[in-house]
Structure 1
Amino acid sequence: MSTSNVDLQDYARRLYDAHGDKAVAEAAQKARALEEQGRREDALTWRRIEEIIKETLGPHQS
């Protein structure tokens, strides 16, 4: 899942729009599941999406 940073930011925004404050947990859960499946690259992508959402929310939401 090689994706540009712009695409990741867009996806993170859409995930937040769909799930609100639960988006961080959704991304983390997806990353964890992929890690358990041995899909390291895909998991890293989801970890990046998780970080983008956290950055967007700011330090008071983490």
Structure 2
Amino acid sequence: MQETEIQDYARQLFDAHGDKALVEAAQKARSLEEKGDKEEAETWRRIEAAIKLMRGPHVS
């Protein structure tokens, strides 16, 4: 998946699910890793990272 596609998908996921999008992406990546699908899991890790960037720094 191209970087622009990663960004687009991450934005759509974030717009649809808000903060839950990050959890959803992480769970999907982990599930794929457990199944041995490393390539697809890496795509989901990239989506997860893009969502983290969209959220900005964590404020406490």
Which category of TM-score, normalised to the shorter sequence, fits these structures?
over 0.9
Instruction: Provide the rounded CA distance (Å) in 1 between the counterparts of 2:57 and 2:45.
Output: 17
Question: CA shift at 1:15, angstroms?
Answer: 0.3
**1:22 Cα shift?**
0.4
Q: 1:5-36 CA distances to partner (integer Å, 9 max, x unpaired)?
A: 00000000000011101000000000000001
TM-score by length of 1: 0.91
Equivalent residue for 1:45?
Answer: 43
- Coordinate RMSD, CA, aligned: 0.9
Counterpart-to-counterpart distance in 2, 1:15 and 1:56: 11
Percent identity of paired positions between Structure 1 and Structure 2? 63
CA distance in 2: counterparts of 1:55 and 1:21, whole angstroms: 12
**Aligned counterpart, 1:24:** 22
How many residues were matched structurally?
59
Separation (CA, whole Å) in 2 of partners of 1:28 and 1:41:
14
Report deviation, 1:50. 0.2
Report the TM-score, using the length of structure 2 for normalisation.
0.94
Displacement, 1:59? 1.3
Q: Which one has the bigger helix percentage? A: 1
